[in-house]
Structure 1
Amino acid sequence: MTAEVVGLDFAKLYAARLQAVSARPYLATALYALRIIDSRAVPTMGVDKYWRCYASTGFVAGTPVEELASILVHEVSHLLRDHHARSDRYAHAHDLTGPGERLRMNIAADAEINDDAFGDGLVRPSGAVMPATLGLDEGQLMEDYLGQFRLGPLIEGMAWLDCGSGADGSDRAWDVGPDGADGLSEQQRDGVRFLVAQGIVGRPGNAPQGWRRWANEALHPSQPWRDLLGAALRAATSAPGVGEDYTYRRPARRSTALPGVVLPSLRRSPPRVSVVIDTSGSVSDDELGSALLEVAAIVRAVGGRRDLVTVFSCDAAARIAHPLCQAEGMSLIGGGGTDLRTGFTKALRTRPDVLVALTDGQTPWPSQQPACRTVVGLFRRGRAWQENNPDYVPDRPPAWARVVDIG
């Protein structure tokens, strides 16, 4: 006769956690931050976004400590990599609904984690989803995998898989929720991620490439540069004085107080925008293409008025920029050297309300602030260089320009 299991074996789980920490010391902060909850509703083990790990009594009792250690690493990886929020964003962007799609997200998230999770002290749990299980290559992200497989016979045997709302963003019946006990606040969760990322970058040891990539992104998140550039342009075009002028076409209301006198009224017209594109040899064709896409977005931002947007190129690749601008119905003016000051001078002659410069930054800058608002889109670079000057460091854009890193 077997003994009846009366409760969750916390001692066994704590032993598994200690083994997990020994195998993956860079995840220690996250593993000890995970709050283990006894739950008879969860099929195996699952997490929510508040860093609670729900564990089934029967599953823990029947699973060896070595496998439990690997499962703890797996579950905490969902939380560190923010799979619940990424799944929500993907579902919203691709209009995905229903439990089948959430299962697909869980499978894709597992494939992202498991491709380099095991070995070196961690055994592979039975039934673990690997990229090879789906017939896919290793080293990709959840979003990449989601675009490469669909529900079908290949994954029929994975219907049992459920890592909880922390893996796919869909709430479960067993979730305690934001007001329940033992959860971490958003600030605490961000703090755990930061400490783990800092440990991986500061002392990488034998951390796999996937974790090193995650740590670098966690410490230096990429900026949504298209949104930032658009916001900078909107702020510049809507600033006081931009596009404003006096007109007699509609007299000011104050004219009624002065019989016989007609006063002009202040009216806002669409802003005139001049764009200076650095087309020197140090700017790649891909970057030039991105710059011209931004020019098209600027045209849309001023209501589609191409006559309000003037484009100036500085140097060699005007031969590429010209046909692309013509395809968009925009005129490209001038040439000039790698020195963007030439482009600024020509652009300012058109008396724009806003001046936008798209460049890699390897150029001198004007010494005086233009009379109009200025936005600089700066192509990201590693260490800049010049053939005759190994210690060359390009000047940063002036303080009077609103700078947005592009790419």
Structure 2
Amino acid sequence: MEARTGTGTGALDRDKLFAARLHAARVRPYLATALFALHTVESRRVPTMAVDRHWRCYVSPGFVDRTPVEMLAGVWVHEVSHLLRDHHGRGDRLARELGLTGPAERLRMNIAADCEINDDVYGHGLLPPAGAVRPDSLQLPEGQLMEEYVRRIRLEGNAAALAWLDCGSGADGLERDWDLGPDGAHGLSRQEQDAVRFRVAQGITGRPGSAPESWQRWAEEAFHPPQPWRELLGAAVRSAASGSGAGEDYSYGRPSRRSAGLPGVVLPSLRRRPPRVSVIIDTSGSVSDAELGSALLEVAAITRAVGGRRDLVTVLPCDAAARLVHPLCRAEGIPLVGGGGTDLRTGFARALRIEPRPDVIVVLTDGQTRWPAVRPSCRTVVGLFPREHSRRSWREEDPDYVPDAPPAWARVVTIG
């Protein structure tokens, strides 16, 4: 990230280092809480400055001696950005996903994390140190995330010259032998780290326009973290399908054990069969083509949630009227006809008339509909397409109308 320097032999100039932190807080006031939450540790084993995942900042005395205050301020902002953006946690997840092991692959993550930060961190009072890694220096586009950059970076060419780079475990998740570790002094607990992130996000959203767009996006996600919605949807379907009464029926193929207590009487046993799922897809005009495409992907995920039995899943497109019920052969071949108003109550009524009746109804909608007044006889899961302005009017003739929230008897998962 920063310029390559020697480690020096003198004591750490804390006055200069803290003056640089104060300057960073003045020019980036929304990061002040995070900057002052870092505890500094003098270290001659780091090339410049580095952070660990416990919010300690390791500082080379020689680097401080040789670096102007305005550049040191930029390094402060850079290092705390690694921690705020959870590059250590994201690095661990990337390592598991892509099978990345060893220091060389972690260096690739460190470079990718620097590219995510450095495309807009400098300027307006912060000077970049010589050698700062930027996407254009590696012939990469700006504005992407660490996960996107790491797939495109190869440790050759310009990237090979960055072997000196080490922003610490806070940048890539790999612990160094100079880390103080979880039991060392002055580390922040996970709850304290979350509190710092929340305060920073408050500062950014409270003064819109004062932070770059990437930081504004980060603040939005800090308040509304993305859910693993596909896993949640699958879990909701599995939970509904495995609940008491779902997929259960009586069978004389295997007599009940209670028959032994009633001589001459044969009692049926309760057998569990694979659950049947009916998927109602909102095809009204307020649902975009992209959301309809996403709905078809969710149908495939729902099929996996019930063991891959496509013969047990039916799809029902619905706007203000229920359409044809389609057995699931290939999700991409289902015609999603509609485009009018929305009244999914007709879809519920049609789904409950299907023979054999479904054990679970899954509704994929933007929520601009009326809901059944009476709880259906089977379990219900609602997958909601998010709307940014949930309180604006949805009817031109009625400016005060706001659609009802899904009823309490439905399990709700936000999609996307």
Q: Quick one: distance in 2 between partners of 1:339 and 1:22? A: 54
Contact 2:34 2:197 in 1 (8 A): yes
Cα 1:107–1:318 change in 2 (3 A) is farther
Cα 1:320–1:153 change in 2 (3 A) is farther
Residue aligning to 1:352: 358
Root mean square deviation of aligned Cα = 2.5
| 1:371 maps to 2:374 | no
How many residue pairs end up in the alignment? 403
1:343 to 343, 347, 362: 347
1:44 to 31, 48, 63: 48
1:234 to 231, 238, 243: 238
1:147 to 139, 148, 151: 151
Partner of 1:311, secondary structure, is strand
Task: In structure 2, give the amino acid aligned to 1:297.
Answer: A
Residue aligning to 1:393: 402
Cα 1:321–1:115 change in 2 (3 A) is farther
Contact 1:275 1:295 in 2 (8 A): yes
2:283 to 279, 286, 309: 279
Deviation for aligned residue 1:154? 2.0
Q: Quick one: distance in 2 between partners of 1:127 and 1:297? A: 46
Residue aligning to 1:290: 294
Task: In structure 2, give the amino acid aligned to 1:38.
Answer: E
Residue aligning to 2:4: none
Partner of 2:254, secondary structure, is coil
| 1:270 maps to 2:274 | yes
1:104 to 108, 129, 132: 108
Q: Quick one: distance in 1 between partners of 2:130 and 2:337? A: 66
Partner of 2:364, secondary structure, is strand
Deviation for aligned residue 1:278? 1.1
Contact 1:361 1:378 in 2 (8 A): yes
Point out the more displaced range, 395-404 or 193-202. 395-404
Q: Quick one: distance in 1 between partners of 2:75 and 2:247? A: 61
Q: Quick one: distance in 2 between partners of 1:349 and 1:143? A: 47
| 1:195 maps to 2:199 | yes
Contact 1:132 1:138 in 2 (8 A): yes
Deviation for aligned residue 1:114? 1.0
Contact 1:312 1:332 in 2 (8 A): no
Residue aligning to 2:367: 361
Cα 1:307–1:332 change in 2 (3 A) is farther
Partner of 1:248, secondary structure, is strand
Q: Quick one: distance in 2 between partners of 1:59 and 1:159? A: 17
Task: In structure 2, give the amino acid aligned to 1:184.
Answer: L
Deviation for aligned residue 1:325? 5.3
Contact 2:362 2:380 in 1 (8 A): yes
> Which runs of no fewer than 5 residues in structure 2 stay unpaired?
1-7
Equivalences for residues 206-217 of structure 1 within 5 A: 206-217=210-221
| 1:327 maps to 2:333 | no
Q: Quick one: distance in 2 between partners of 1:299 and 1:168? A: 36
Q: Quick one: distance in 2 between partners of 1:19 and 1:388? A: 54
Q: Quick one: distance in 2 between partners of 1:330 and 1:391? A: 39
Contact 1:311 1:330 in 2 (8 A): no
Deviation for aligned residue 1:34? 0.3
Task: Output one character per residue of 1:314-358: Cα deviation in whole Å (capped at 9) or x when no partner.
Answer: 149999997x95534988899897311111101011221111111
Task: Output one character per residue of 1:106-150: Cα deviation in whole Å (capped at 9) or x when no partner.
Answer: 111111111111111111111111111111222221112223332
Cα 1:318–1:149 change in 2 (3 A) is farther
TM-score by length of structure 2 reads: 0.91
Q: Quick one: distance in 2 between partners of 1:46 and 1:331? A: 54
Contact 1:310 1:330 in 2 (8 A): no
Cα 1:298–1:134 change in 2 (3 A) is same
Partner of 2:368, secondary structure, is coil
Contact 1:314 1:337 in 2 (8 A): no
Contact 1:5 1:58 in 2 (8 A): yes
Contact 2:55 2:83 in 1 (8 A): yes
Q: Quick one: distance in 2 between partners of 1:35 and 1:129? A: 25
Q: Quick one: distance in 1 between partners of 2:323 and 2:405? A: 28
| 1:160 maps to 2:161 | no
Deviation for aligned residue 1:391? 3.5
Partner of 1:313, secondary structure, is strand
Task: Output one character per residue of 1:359-396: Cα deviation in whole Å (capped at 9) or x when no partner.
Answer: 11122211111011111111112335334334332121
Task: In structure 2, give the amino acid aligned to 1:206.
Answer: S
Q: Quick one: distance in 2 between partners of 1:64 and 1:312? A: 66
Task: In structure 2, give the amino acid aligned to 1:353.
Answer: D
Contact 2:240 2:360 in 1 (8 A): yes
> Which runs of no fewer than 5 residues in structure 1 stay unpaired?
none
Contact 1:369 1:400 in 2 (8 A): yes
TM-score by length of structure 1 reads: 0.92
Partner of 2:116, secondary structure, is helix
Residue aligning to 2:85: 81
Contact 2:108 2:150 in 1 (8 A): yes
Task: In structure 2, give the amino acid aligned to 1:55.
Answer: V
Equivalences for residues 29-68 of structure 1 within 5 A: 29-68=33-72
Q: Percent identity?
A: 68
Q: Quick one: distance in 2 between partners of 1:329 and 1:270? A: 24
Task: In structure 2, give the amino acid aligned to 1:382.
Answer: E
Task: In structure 2, give the amino acid aligned to 1:362.
Answer: Q
Deviation for aligned residue 1:195? 0.3
Residue aligning to 2:3: none
Deviation for aligned residue 1:205? 5.1
Q: Quick one: distance in 2 between partners of 1:352 and 1:152? A: 57
Point out the more displaced range, 36-45 or 161-170. 36-45
Contact 2:319 2:344 in 1 (8 A): no
